[in-house]
C-alpha cells in the first residue's frame, strides 16, 4: 500500500493518508486503485477493531482526479475492460461506504473529479476553509462524466434539480460554498482543527450510514410520480440542447445518467453511470477535449513554446497607442493585472474616452457586487491617458493599436519607440499586416513583435503572438511572459499575411458568402454553421465585421501580391460580398444593414431581399455538405498554414482556432478535428468537396503526405 498510509490511533480511528510516490498530486491511476481496494479490504478485515476512518492527503492538494493519460489512450475495443474497471473502483467505494463504521473525508486541499468523488463516498466531509481550495466535478469540460459515483451521489445529496448545474457545467466551488450547499459538514481554519472535527464526528456518529442507505430515504425534490418536478424534467434537457446543439455528448450523458439513475436503486444507478462513462471516455469528443484542453493547454501554460534560457520578465509599465476599442481593451486588462498603462491617442479627449471604456466595465462589476470601489479606483489609477508621446517614457512594452494602415503604423512606431525603457519591446496589434513589413519602421526590428488581441479584449482569452523575420528569441520570450502576466493564452505563429486566426476565420465567412452565391437559402447557411457548433453564422459575422472593410483589405492584399508579381486565387464568396457591399449598398450592421436588417428596438432578421438577389430555383445542397464545408474549409486552411510553416505545432492551431475564432470546442480545434476524422478519410472527403464546390477544398500536399505516412497532427 505504497500510496496510502494506514495509521490507527489509540481511539481506534484509522487515518488513511493518500500520498502517491513520484507524483506531485494524487491521481486515480492503477497504483491508487489497487492500493485503495487493498486498504478497504484491510479495513473490512479489521472492522471489529476500528471505530472510524479518516481520509486525508499528504500532498498540497487533496486529490487531483482521473488519470487522463490512460483515459486518452483507452480505445473503443476496450469498452468492456473500462466498464469493469469503473465498476470495480465503485465497488470499493461502496464497500467503504457500507463498512458500518463512520468514514470521514478531511479535505486539506483541492479535491476535483475522482478526488471529490472519493469524498462524496464518505459519510461526512470537513474541509480547510481556504478559498484557494477548489472542490467539484469538472469532468464535463473534458468531455467526460464523474464516473466514480459522482453523479449518483450528487443527485442523491442535493436532488436532481440542484445537482445538475455542478454536473453539467462542471462549476467548482470553495469549501465555504460547499458548506452552504450542504456538501461539506463544516470547515476548519487549520489542519489541526480539521482533524479534530473529523474525530469528533466519528465519535458522535458511531453507526454512520449514507442517507440513501437508510430505510425510508427519499430523493430530495422528487414527487410522487417523478424524480423531479415535471417542468424541470421537460424543459431542462431542451435548454441543454439549445445550448449545445447536440454537439457535446458529455452533458447529454450526464443528464441521462442522472435522471435514469434517479428512478432506480443506488447500485443500478451507479451501473448506469458507468455505462455512460465508458461511452464518453471511448468516444471521439472526449479525446479531442482532453488532447487540446488538457495536454496541449498545459504545454502552453508550462511555456513549451517559449525560448529557453531567457529570464522571466515582469512588466510594470506598458504603453498603448490608439485608444479605440482594441487599445482601450488592452489598457483595461493591463490595469486589472496592476500594470500601469500609458494610453496614448491623438488628443487628450480621445485618450480619455479610451479610459472611460474601463470605467464602464468596472461600473458593471460594482453593480453586480463583484468589485469594491477601492479596487475600481486602483484599477483606474493604473490607466494614464495622454496625447503626449513623451509620457510613454520608460515603458517596458509599447503596443500599437491604431488603424490598419501601414503609413500610420510606421509613423506611430517611429514616434513612440524611442520612449521605450532599456531593453523594452514594441508590439503591433495588427490582425492582418505582416509583422516583418511593419518592423521596417522600427529601429530595432529584433525587438518588434506582433501581439494580436481579439475583441472584446476583456473577454477573449487568446493572444496571437507573431514572430517577424527579425524578431529575436528574447523578444518572443518577453512577449509570452507579458501575455501570461495578463492572464491570457498565447499561441505562437510565424509571420504571414493574416497570420493564423484571421486567415482561417476568413475562409469561414467567405464560404458562407459562396454558399449564398450558389443559391443556398440564407437561413440554412446560418443554421448549418450553428448546428456544427459555430457560435454565430457566417452571414451574421460578416455583418458585424463589415464587408466594406474586408473588401478594402482584400484589395490591399491584391495590390501587394501584384507588386510581388502574384495573383490572388478567385473565391466565389467575394462576388457576393462585393455585390452586397457595393452593388446593394448593404455593407454590414454599421453601414445600416447587410445580410440582416436591424430594425430599431427589435431583434435583427435576415434581409428579405436575399432570396430574390441570390436564390436559385432547384438548388439543393445537402445539409451534410454545408456542415462539412464549414468545418473542412477552416481545417484545410489551417493545414495550408502549417504547410507554409506559419504554424509549427498543432497546439497553436487548435487552441487558437477555438479560443480566438470560435471554431467549435468539441472538435478540439482545427487540426485535432482532422485527427478525429482520420487523415485519409479527411483527405478523401476534401477531394469530394473539391469536386463539388471548388478547388479550395483540395487536400493540401502536407495532408496527403501525412496521411500516407499514417501520421497525425501534433
Contact between 74 and another protein per CB under 8 A = no
Stretch that binds another protein, among 199-207, 215-223, 267-275, 552-560 (CB under 8 A): 267-275
238 contributes a contact to another protein by CB under 8 A: no
Q: In what order do the strands lie in the sheet with 124-128?
A: 4-8, 13-18, 52-57, 103-107, 124-128, 186-188
- 3-class DSSP state for residue 463? strand
CB of 137 to another protein, least distance (A): 22
* Nearest by Cα to 462 from 407, 499, 412, 426: 499
Percent of the chain as helix, strand, coil, to the nearest 5: 55, 15, 35
User: Cα torsion for 528, 533, 534, 539, to the nearest 10°?
Assistant: 20
Cβ contacts of 405 within 8 Å, gap of 6 or more: none
Among residues 161, 186, 213, 260, which is the contact residue for another protein, using CB under 8 A?
A: 260
Nearer to another protein, 266 or 448 (CB): 266
Report whether 472 contacts 447 (CB < 8 A).
yes
Minimum CB–partner distance for residue 84 and another protein (Å) = 9
CB of 279 to another protein, least distance (A): 5
Q: Stretches 259-267, 307-315, 331-339, 649-657: which one binds another protein (CB under 8 A)?
A: 259-267
Binding string, 356-395, against another protein, x = CB under 8 A? Answer: ----------------------------------------
Closest approach, Cβ 35 to another protein, in A, equals 27
Tell me the window of 256-264, 290-298, 341-349, 664-672 that interacts with another protein (CB under 8 A): 256-264
Stretches 265-273, 494-502, 528-536, 584-592: which one binds another protein (CB under 8 A)? Answer: 265-273
524: contact with another protein by CB under 8 A:
no
Kindly tell me which residue out of 27, 61, 282, 413 binds another protein, with binding defined by CB under 8 A.
282
Among 1, 263, 366, 414, binds another protein (CB under 8 A): 263
Binding status of residue 695 toward another protein by CB under 8 A: no
* CB-CB neighbours of 1 under 10 Å: 12
**714: buried, middle or exposed (CB in 10 Å: 19+, 13-18, 0-12)?**
exposed
Residue 459 half-sphere exposure, CB side, CA atoms within 13 Å?
A: 6
Asked if 268 interacts with another protein (CB under 8 A), we say yes
* 370 SS3 class: coil
For another protein, the binding residue among 48, 192, 207, 265 (CB under 8 A) is: 265
95 near another protein, rule: CB under 8 A: no
**CB neighbour list of residue 652: distance below 8 Å, 6 or more residues apart:** 305, 491, 492, 493, 500
User: CB–CB of 528/623 below 8 Å?
Assistant: yes
Options 107, 124, 151, 278; binder of another protein; rule CB under 8 A: 278
Which range of residues in 149-157, 175-183, 263-271, 375-383 is near another protein by CB under 8 A? 263-271
How many C-beta atoms lie closer than 10 Å to residue 254's C-beta?
A: 30
Q: Toward another protein, which CB reaches closer, 275 or 651?
A: 275
Residue 661 exposed, middle or buried by CB count within 10 Å (0-12, 13-18, 19+): buried
Q: Which range, of 5-13, 77-85, 104-112, 693-701, touches another protein by CB under 8 A?
A: 77-85
Q: Are 690 and 684 in contact (CB under 8 A)?
A: no
The least distance separating another protein from the CB of residue 147, rounded to whole angstroms, comes to 13
Min CB(148)–another protein separation in Å: 18
State which residue, 76 or 535, has the beta carbon closest to another protein.
76
Residue 50 CB neighbour total at 10 angstroms: 18
Cell numbers 431583434 correspond to what residue? 603
Please provide the DSSP assignment of 376-391 as one string. HHHHHHTEEEES-GGG
Q: Which is nearer to another protein, 265 or 620 (CB)?
A: 265
Nearest distance in Å: CB 217, another protein: 14
Helix (H) or strand (E) holding 57: strand 52-57
Give least dist CB 260 to another protein, A: 7
Q: Which stretch binds another protein (CB under 8 A): 140-148, 274-282, 441-449, 590-598?
A: 274-282
Q: Is 89 in the site for another protein (CB under 8 A)?
A: no
28, containing H or E segment: strand 27-28
Of residues 190, 267, 378, 711, which one binds another protein by CB under 8 A?
Answer: 267
Distance separating alpha carbons of residues 642 and 660, to the nearest angstrom: 17
Secondary structure letter of residue 315 according to DSSP: -
Nearer Cβ to another protein (74/698): 74
Catalytic status, residue 452: yes
From the list 258-266, 376-384, 466-474, 617-625, the region that binds another protein by CB under 8 A is: 258-266
> What's the min distance (Å) between Cβ of 368 and another protein?
42
With beta carbons less than 8 A apart as the criterion, state whether 58 and 234 touch. Answer: no
Distance CA 651, CA 409 (A): 31
Pair 278, 250: CB distance under 8 Å: no
Kindly determine how many residues on this chain lie close enough to bind another protein according to the rule CB under 8 A: 17
Least Å distance, CB 499 to another protein, is 43
Which range touches another protein (CB under 8 A), out of 54-62, 75-83, 451-459, 559-567?
Answer: 75-83
Q: Is 91 a binder of another protein (CB under 8 A)?
A: no
Rounded-to-integer distance, Cα 238 and Cα 226, Å: 18
Query: Which residue in the set 45, 225, 238, 569 belongs to the binding site for another protein (CB under 8 A)?
Result: 225
**Based on CB atoms, which residue is closest to another protein, 84 or 190?**
84
Q: Given 452, 570, 571, 605, which residue is catalytic?
A: 452
Q: Which is nearer to another protein, 80 or 367 (CB)?
A: 80
- Does 83 bind another protein (CB under 8 A)? Our answer is yes
Extract the C-alpha cell encoding 27.
491521481
- Could you tell me the smallest distance in angstroms from the CB atom of residue 531 to another protein? 19
Of 91, 264, 649, 702, the one binding another protein by CB under 8 A = 264
**Is residue 415 involved in binding another protein (CB under 8 A)?**
no
With beta carbons less than 8 A apart as the criterion, state whether 227 and 262 touch: yes
80 makes contact with another protein (CB under 8 A) = yes
Given the complex with another protein, which of 267 and 378 has the nearer CB atom?
Answer: 267
Q: CA separation (Å) from 340 to 303, 337, 343, 352, 462?
A: 25, 9, 10, 15, 21
Backbone angles phi, psi at 219, to 5 degrees: -60, 125
List, as one string, the DSSP characters of 509-524. Answer: HHHHHHHHHHT--HHH
Q: Mask of contacts with another protein, 21-60, x by CB under 8 A?
A: ----------------------------------------
Phi, psi of 700 (to 5 degrees): -65, 155
Please tell me whether residue 88 binds another protein under the rule CB under 8 A: no
Q: Where on the chain is the footprint of another protein (CB under 8 A)? A: 79-80, 83, 225, 260, 263-265, 267-268, 271-272, 275-276, 278-279, 282
Q: Which residues are known to be catalytic?
A: 452
Amino acid at each position: 500500500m505504497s500510496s496510502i498510509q494506514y495509521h490507527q490511533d489509540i481511539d481506534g480511528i484509522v487515518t488513511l493518508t493518500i500520498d502517491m510516490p513520484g507524483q506531485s498530486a494524487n491521481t486515480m491511476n492503477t497504483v491508487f486503485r489497487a492500493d485503495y481496494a487493498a486498504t478497504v479490504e484491510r479495513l473490512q478485515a479489521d472492522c471489529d477493531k476500528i471505530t472510524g476512518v479518516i481520509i486525508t492527503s499528504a500532498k498540497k492538494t487533496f486529490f487531483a482526479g482521473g488519470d487522463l493519460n490512460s483515459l486518452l489512450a483507452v480505445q473503443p475495443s476496450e469498452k468492456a475492460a473500462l466498464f469493469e474497471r469503473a465498476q470495480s473502483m465503485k465497488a470499493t467505494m461502496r464497500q467503504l461506504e457500507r463498512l458500518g463504521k463512520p468514514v470521514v473525508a478531511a479535505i486539506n486541499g483541492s479535491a476535483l473529479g475522482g478526488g471529490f468523488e472519493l469524498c462524496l463516498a464518505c459519510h461526512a466531509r470537513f474541509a480547510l476553509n481556504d478559498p484557494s481550495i477548489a472542490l467539484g466535478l469538472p469532468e464535463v469540460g473534458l468531455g467526460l462524466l464523474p464516473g466514480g459515483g459522482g453523479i449518483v451521489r450528487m443527485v442523491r445529496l442535493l436532488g436532481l434539480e440542484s445537482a445538475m448545474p455542478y454536473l453539467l457545467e462542471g462549476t467548482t466551488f470553495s469549501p465555504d460554498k460547499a458548506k452552504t450547499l450542504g456538501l461539506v459538514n463544516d470547515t476548519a481554519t487549520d489542519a489541526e482543527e480539521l482533524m479534530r472535527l473529523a474525530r469528533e464526528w466519528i465519535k458522535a456518529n458511531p453507526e454512520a450510514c449514507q442517507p440513501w442507505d437508510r430505510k425510508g430515504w427519499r430523493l430530495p425534490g422528487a414527487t410522487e410520480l417523478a424524480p423531479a418536478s415535471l417542468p424541470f424534467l421537460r424543459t431542462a434537457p431542451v435548454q441543454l440542447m439549445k445550448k449545445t446543439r447536440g454537439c457535446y455528448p458529455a452533458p447529454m450523458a450526464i443528464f441521462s445518467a442522472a435522471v435514469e439513475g434517479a428512478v432506480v436503486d443506488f447500485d443500478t444507478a451507479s451501473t448506469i453511470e458507468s455505462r455512460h462513462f465508458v461511452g464518453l471516455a471511448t468516444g471521439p469528443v472526449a479525446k479531442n477535449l482532453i488532447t487540446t484542453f488538457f495536454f496541449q493547454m498545459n504545454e502552453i501554460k508550462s511555456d513549451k513554446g517559449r525560448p529557453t534560457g531567457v529570464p522571466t520578465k515582469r512588466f510594470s509599465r506598458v504603453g498603448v497607442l490608439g485608444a479605440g476599442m482594441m487599445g482601450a481593451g488592452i489598457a483595461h486588462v493591463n490595469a486589472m493585472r496592476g500594470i500601469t498603462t500609458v494610453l496614448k491617442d491623438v488628443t487628450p479627449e480621445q485618450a480619455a474616452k479610451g479610459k472611460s471604456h474601463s470605467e464602464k466595465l468596472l461600473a458593471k462589476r460594482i453593480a453586480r457586487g463583484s468589485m469594491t470601489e477601492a479596487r475600481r479606483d486602483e484599477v483606474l489609477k493604473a490607466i494614464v491617458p495622454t496625447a503626449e508621446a513623451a509620457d510613454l517614457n520608460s515603458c517596458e512594452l509599447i503596443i500599437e493599436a491604431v488603424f490598419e494602415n501601414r503609413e500610420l503604423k510606421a509613423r506611430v512606431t517611429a514616434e513612440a519607440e524611442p520612449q521605450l525603457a532599456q531593453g523594452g519591446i514594441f508590439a503591433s496589434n495588427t490582425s492582418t499586416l505582416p509583422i516583418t513589413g511593419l518592423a521596417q519602421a522600427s529601429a530595432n526590428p529584433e525587438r518588434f513583435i506582433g501581439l494580436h488581441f481579439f475583441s472584446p479584449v476583456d473577454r477573449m482569452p487568446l493572444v496571437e503572438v507573431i514572430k517577424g523575420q527579425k524578431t529575436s528569441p528574447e523578444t518572443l520570450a518577453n512577449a509570452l511572459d507579458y501575455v501570461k502576466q495578463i492572464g491570457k493564452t498565447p499561441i505562437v505563429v510565424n509571420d504571414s499575411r493574416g497570420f493564423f486566426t484571421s486567415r482561417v476565420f476568413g475562409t469561414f465567412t467567405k464560404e458562407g458568402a459562396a454558399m449564398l452565391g450558389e443559391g443556398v437559402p440564407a437561413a440554412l447557411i446560418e443554421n448549418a454553421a450553428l448546428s456544427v457548433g459555430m457560435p454565430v453564422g457566417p452571414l451574421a459575422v460578416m455583418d458585424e465585421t463589415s464587408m466594406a472593410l474586408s473588401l478594402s483589405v482584400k484589395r490591399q492584399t491584391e495590390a501587394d501580391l501584384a507588386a510581388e508579381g502574384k495573383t490572388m486565387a478567385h473565391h466565389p464568396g467575394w462576388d457576393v460580398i462585393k455585390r452586397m457591399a457595393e452593388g446593394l449598398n448593404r455593407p454590414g450592421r454599421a453601414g445600416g444593414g447587410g445580410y440582416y436588417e436591424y430594425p430599431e428596438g427589435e431583434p435583427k432578421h435576415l434581409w428579405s431581399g436575399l432570396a430574390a438577389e441570390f436564390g436559385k430555383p432547384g438548388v439543393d445542397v445537402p445539409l451534410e455538405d454545408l456542415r462539412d464545408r464549414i468545418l473542412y474549409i477552416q481545417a484545410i486552411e489551417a493545414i495550408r498554414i502549417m504547410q507554409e510553416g506559419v504554424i509549427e505545432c498543432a497546439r497553436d492551431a487548435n487552441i487558437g482556432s477555438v479560443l480566438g475564432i470560435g471554431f467549435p470546442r468539441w472538435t478540439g480545434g482545427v487540426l485535432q478535428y482532422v485527427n478525429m476524422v482520420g487523415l485519409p478519410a479527411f483527405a478523401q472527403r476534401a477531394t469530394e468537396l473539391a469536386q463539388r464546390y471548388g478547388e479550395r477544398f483540395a487536400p493540401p500536399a502536407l495532408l496527403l503526405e501525412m496521411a500516407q505516412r499514417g501520421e497525425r497532427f501534433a
